A and B are shown apart, each in its own frame.
Chain A
Amino acid sequence: MIRLAFRNLFQNKIRLVISVGGVALALLLILSLDAIFTGVERRVTAYIEHSGADIWVSQADVRNMHMASSSLPDSVARKVKYVPGVASVTPILYLTNNVVAGDERNLAYIIGLPENAEFGGPWSISSGQSLPAQGETILNRNIAVNSGIALGDEVEILGDEFKVTGFSEGTASLVNSVAFISMDDFEEMRGSYDTVSFLLVKVSDGESPEVVAARIKTQVRDVTAQTRTDFATQERQVIKDMSTDLITIMNLIGFLIGLAVMALTVYTSTLSRRREYGMLKALGARNTDLYLTVLAQAILSVVLGFLFGLVITLLLTVVIPIFGSNLLLVVSRVSLLKVGSVSLVIAAVSAMLPIRQIAGLDPVMVFRGR
């Protein structure tokens, strides 16, 4: 009966294309939205993950970087250095502002790096220098290229002119990018000489970041110390919490659309084969044999639709960055699992109508139309 399902499905190419295509598109809705948000999560944590720090120290109760601000007095840096297990401390200054090139304005996270900073700087340089000296800045390559900025050009940040001396990779998202300048320049322009935003801490060999972070919290007042993984998780959580409802709604719509398409195609397919199914009943097929066929057909269509939807999503993952967009799509395992289950539910529910159709088939019909 499975073979029959297979053959019936492939016999009518148009119907096959529509059912598989429709399901693929509906699942694409779900997969692509998931992928967009996962991509955002990935981008949002890129800087933190690549910073090289084991621990991030921030203002008390500030547990995030994006959409948050953190301020620590300089003295804290010294106190943290003395905490046992701390190998090195790199302070950074951070705020959100615009990088202006001619008429182009690009929103960026401006990171002020101390001289010879070991950590917190760009992790992948495509050309030029890897650290900004005074009066210099390192920009994201895509942003620079899209704005027509070349190495050696001048851009305006925080009201001052900076020479672009390096291009970094992986430092851009759809909304903004990271621009690195020297801490001295940052302090001068902001007039904030005695504060830093974050402290990037590297622990000594053999020490566990969790333990050292806990130590920092107890020994230094008014700070929050998180391991790199914890900090990244907090950042991802912002995106997750923000997007949950939206994703749920889109999932529901995608599910309904997939269901409608499948129900329609399985129904029309079964309808067009009424005589054949009735004849099989006359020959002795049980209802369950025929249910199996219809269900197998539904599952097969949906599986194909799922694969297609997945392939298209993966294609988009590759194609979109090629077009210079900073939209990152990442297909996660969780998303695959979810969409896979949704597909199976669609198959099962859409098979119900035809099952009822078959149950009602009277084998005597095989003689009608004489």
Chain B
Amino acid sequence: MTNISQVQGETLQIAHVTKRYGSGSTEVTAVRDVSLTVSPGEVVLIMGPSGSGKTTLLSMLGALLKPTEGAIQLNGTIISALAENRLPEIRLKQFGFIFQDFNLLSALTALENVAIVAELAGNKSGAARRKAASLLTELGLGERLNSLPEKLSGGEKQRVAIARALVNDPALILADEPTANLDSKIGHEIMRLLRNIAKEQGRSVVIVSHDQRIKDIADRVLWLEDGEFKETVTMAVDPVCGMSVEREKAISAEWKGQTFYFCARGCRDDFVNDPKKFHLLISQES
């Protein structure tokens, strides 16, 4: 893509974004000519080694950092060109952030942690608290509304963070290592949650993580190294056994004009023999 175009339905578009730090001999290029489009309801996973520029990229996506070159567009607004004083509103209403360290305000209860973000966006205290309460209850924290973060488990804290990220109905969720500080069972739950947010609520979800398991819920996996996307992997679900497979490496088959991907020959053969039997699974796709 060489132009920013108002593609219908696209949430996030970044075009040839570069970030350089320093100057002259100390100049460092953290992100180099990166382009990406994320659609509503899509889960994109960005992986890469430490120092690959993931943090920088995420910061720019979240309007915390301005790119040196290129443009970042969200729902039609070129946020990379906005003045600093317009950004807080964008951050409040268009993004939801989820952090590795949860980053809850230690002096506020779970309910207050979520409500405060709603209040910042202009909701009155009562309405903010109601919204927060319903979100938290949906996420299974109905009993923990008035608990302080120190009394919550890791998984509970991350769910509070997710509720906080959702309370202002953002178009884009940005998650930085959301499962890093959680044990595997809880990590799984959080991953499922993030996927549901994308699929059921139609939001775009961009996750930066080392965790391989997140591949299972991602639609696309991007590998960032030395500031550039080296590999793009698109995930698909095998309609026969339900496993996540990488399209680029998987065995495929066509049916009624659609391409399907399989984990192994066995599944592909099963499908080809009786496609209609697995069509329910097909409709679950995307």
Contacts and interface: CB of A to CB of B under 8 A. Distances in A.
Interface string B72-108: 0000000000000101111111010101100101111
Contacts of A281: 88
A3 B121 contact: no
Contact of B103 (A279, A285, A286, A370): A279
B47 interface: no
Interface residues of B, number: 32
Contacts of A307: none
Contacts of A17: none
B58 interface: yes
B227 interface: no
A46 B198 CA distance: 81
Given A3-B116, A366-B103, A370-B100, A285 B59 contact: no
B58 A367 contact: yes
A299 to B, nearest CB: 17
Nearest to B58: A367
Residues of A contacting B: mostly:
helix
Interface stretch (A4-12, A123-131, A259-267): A4-12
B238 interface: no
Contacts of B58: 367
A364 B30 CA distance: 14
A8 B106 CA distance: 8
B117 A276 contact: no
Interface string A1-45: 101100110110000000000000000000000000000000000
B35 interface: no
Contacts of B112: 3-4, 7
A275 B100 CA distance: 13
B107 A282 contact: no
Contact of B120 (A276, A284, A366, A367): A284
Nearest to B180: A370
A367 B175 CA distance: 11
Nearest to A5: B107
Contacts of A282: 62, 64, 91, 97
A14 to B, nearest CB: 15
Contacts of A280: 105, 120
A289 interface: yes
B65 interface: yes
Contacts of B85: 286
A363 interface: yes
Contacts of A283: 91-92, 97, 117, 120, 164
A367 B176 contact: yes
Contact of B93 (A4, A284, A370): A284
Contact of A11 (B65, B91, B93, B107): B107
A11 B106 CA distance: 8
Given A283-B91, A364-B59, 5 more contacts: A275-B103, A283-B117, A285-B120, A366-B103, A370-B177
